[in-house]
């Protein structure tokens, strides 16, 4: 991707975080899923790190993961946000000071290289640590102060807590689609500027594929897919 095109996508991505309706960011894992969501009108995409790893085989490592991300980016003409899967290290809740240093270093490097980058800083207090709203807010404020463009707080589901977080953190807030998370229209009213759906769509499709497999194995029928499939020519045209 050229620097000019990347800059265009980053600027467009920033604008999508400023609208009152909020940005819904579908999680994609390969070219077909990326093309499908764009065809349905989504103006930006996010990769699901879990989904990409599952699609290429997690054991194949960092290079295979990055190559898959590159194929997705080249396949569509919309901004794509990449989840980098903890950089393929053990996923634990890092000390806030370490995260502060990393974000500042990323910003300094981008400025030195004149390279546009949208940094969505993730605070895993509700997934990788004690569910402490105050600590999540503290980290969110800190990350915003050192250059994060938005703050991702997966695991935060309560509407009142979400509203508090939005009021206290001076950056667009990103919520993760989980059970009991308010619907998009309610999140927008609370001030949330981005909803990420992560690997949810892929998990749902895997569950459907599992039902197909079991029907084939146990009943010898294929009604579970021939009654509800995308026509071959439509799929071919979308993915070509």
| Summary mean pLDDT of the chain | 92
**116-156 confidence digits (pLDDT tens):** 999 999 998 998 777 899 999 999 999 999 999 999 999 99
CATH number for the domain that contains residue 235: 3.20.20.60
Domain co-membership, 180 together with 62? no
Q: What are phi and psi of 40, to 5 degrees?
A: -90, 5
Average pLDDT over residues 196-222: 94
Q: Is residue 49 scored above 60 in pLDDT?
A: yes
pTM (two decimals): 0.92
Domain co-membership, 80 together with 111? no
pLDDT band at 164 (very low <50, low <70, confident <90, very high): very high
Domains held by the chain: number: 2
pLDDT band at 166 (very low <50, low <70, confident <90, very high): very high
Q: Are 147 and 104 in contact (CB under 8 A)?
A: yes
Q: Is residue 37 scored above 90 in pLDDT?
A: yes
Give the Cα separation of 196 and 155 in Å (integer): 12
Q: Calculate helix-pair angle for 232-239, 31-39, nearest 10 degrees.
A: 100
Average pLDDT over residues 30-43: 96
Range of the domain at 6: 1-90+199-240
**59-103 confidence digits (pLDDT tens):** 888 899 999 999 999 999 999 999 986 655 566 788 899 999 999
How many other β-carbons are positioned within 10 Å of the β-carbon of residue 200? 16
Which strands, in side-by-side order, build the sheet including 45-47? 27-28, 45-47, 80-81
> Of 148, 177, 142, 147, whose CA–CA distance to 162 is shortest?
177
Domain co-membership, 170 together with 231? no
Domain co-membership, 16 together with 96? no
pLDDT at position 84: 81
132: CB partners within 8 A, 6+ apart: 125
């Amino acid at each position: 991707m050229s620097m000019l095109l990347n800059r265009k996508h980053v600027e467009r991505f920033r604008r999508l975080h400023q609208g009152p309706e909020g940005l819904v960011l579908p999680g994609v894992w390969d070219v077909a899923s990326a093309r499908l969501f764009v065809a349905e009108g989504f103006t930006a995409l996010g990769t699901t790190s879990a989904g990409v790893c599952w699609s290429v085989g997690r054991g194949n490592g960092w290079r295979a993961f990055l190559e898959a991300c590159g194929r997705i980016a080249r396949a569509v003409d919309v901004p794509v946000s990449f989840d980098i899967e903890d950089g393929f290290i053990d996923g634990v809740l890092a000390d806030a000071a370490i995260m502060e240093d990393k974000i500042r270093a990323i910003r300094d490097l981008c400025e030195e290289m004149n390279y546009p980058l949208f940094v969505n800083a993730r605070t895993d207090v509700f997934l990788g640590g004690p569910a402490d709203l105050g600590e999540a807010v503290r980290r969110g404020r800190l990350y915003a102060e050192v250059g994060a463009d938005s703050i991702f707080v997966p695991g935060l589901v309560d509407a009142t807590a979400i509203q508090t977080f939005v009021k206290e953190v001076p950056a667009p807030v990103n919520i993760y689609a989980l059970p009991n998370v308010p619907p998009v229209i309610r999140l927008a009213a609370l001030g949330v500027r981005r909803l990420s759906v992560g690997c949810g769509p892929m998990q749902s499709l895997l569950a459907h594929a599992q039902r197909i497999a079991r029907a084939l194995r146990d009943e010898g029928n294929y009604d579970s897919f021939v009654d509800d499939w995308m026509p071959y020519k439509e799929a071919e045209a979308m993915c070509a």
